[in-house]
């Protein structure tokens, strides 16, 4: 049985979305980020990223992690690449070349988009620890993201997907990172194919199932 550690309001959402797409049964162990609690070490505190029980699973103290029949993995994007390859089907690479492309897009999204997209969501919505918003930081992040959004827009021109002309794990990994930039609609207006692609990704039943569960969690 696959076990996914992490709350829905975390990068575990990426793994849960893919598990839904694959029809994988899984055990969900909610592990909350320690910084969201008044005192993560207090008696009776919920399982969190600083709890000894979770640190035995992931000594880095981050979510998500998985335990797949004894194989423990961390890092959400790597977990998704593993699950897709293990279970095959259209979400997985069909060739070595596609495997390389899927890895490339995962790393591209993590390095070119995620650090800046997080600044957008933190400083336009106040999602950062402490809830502090700085519009200047958000605006600078939007300016930086214009170039990678243009790259993504051109990549989607051929088929509307990132790899192999079909929806794959590459789209899940990238879409869950691009999502953080949604508080900056100007980015999507300037990249219409990105806007349409993200809307199509988020319209999928497996995404909606994950998102409905996410909405039930405390903000």
The whole-number pLDDT of residue 139 equals: 97
Give 7-34 pLDDT, tens digit per residue.
999 999 999 999 999 999 999 999 999 9
The pTM score is 0.96
Domain extent at residue 139: 96-207
Same-domain pairing of 133 and 40: no
Same-domain pairing of 67 and 121: no
* Integer angstrom CA distances of residue 179 from 1, 87, 100, 148: 29, 25, 23, 14
Q: Residue 132: pLDDT band by 50, 70, 90 thresholds?
A: confident
Backbone phi, then psi, for 27, in 5-degree steps? -95, 130
**Number of domain units in the chain:** 2
At 181, which CATH number?
1.20.1050.10
Domain boundary, last residue among 90, 110, 133: 90
Domain boundary, last residue among 41, 65, 90: 90
Query: 217 in a domain, yes or no?
Result: no
Share of the chain above pLDDT 90, in %: 94
* Integer angstrom CA distances of residue 183 from 121, 126, 196: 6, 11, 16
The whole-number pLDDT of residue 126 equals: 77
Same-domain pairing of 111 and 86: no
Give 158-189 pLDDT, tens digit per residue.
999 999 999 999 999 999 999 999 999 999 99
DSSP code of residue 112: I
Same-domain pairing of 110 and 196: yes
Domain boundary, last residue among 47, 74, 90: 90
Give 183-209 pLDDT, tens digit per residue.
999 999 999 999 999 999 999 999 999
Same-domain pairing of 145 and 168: yes
Same-domain pairing of 108 and 164: yes
Same-domain pairing of 153 and 69: no
């Amino acid at each position: 049985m696959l076990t996914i550690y992490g709350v829905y309001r975390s990068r575990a959402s990426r793994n849960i979305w893919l598990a839904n797409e694959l029809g994988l049964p899984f055990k969900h162990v909610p592990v909350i980020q320690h910084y969201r609690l008044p005192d993560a070490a207090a008696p009776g505190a919920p399982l969190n990223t600083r709890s000894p029980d979770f640190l035995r699973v992931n000594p880095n103290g981050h979510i998500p992690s998985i335990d797949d029949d004894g194989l423990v993995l961390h890092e959400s994007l790597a977990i998704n690449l593993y699950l897709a390859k293990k279970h095959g089907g259209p979400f997985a690479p069909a060739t070595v070349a596609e495997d390389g492309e899927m890895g490339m897009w995962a790393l591209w999204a993590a390095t070119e988009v995620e650090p800046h997209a997080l600044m957008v969501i933190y400083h336009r919505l106040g999602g950062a620890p402490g809830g502090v918003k700085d519009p200047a930081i958000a605006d600078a992040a939007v300016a930086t993201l214009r170039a990678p959004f243009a790259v993504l827009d051109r990549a989607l021109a051929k088929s509307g997907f990132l790899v192999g002309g079909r929806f794959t794990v590459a789209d899940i990994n990238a879409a869950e990172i691009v999502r953080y930039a949604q508080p900056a609609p100007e980015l999507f207006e300037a990249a219409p194919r990105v806007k349409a692609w993200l809307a199509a990704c988020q319209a999928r039943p497996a995404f909606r199932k994950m998102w409905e569960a996410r909405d039930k969690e405390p903000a």
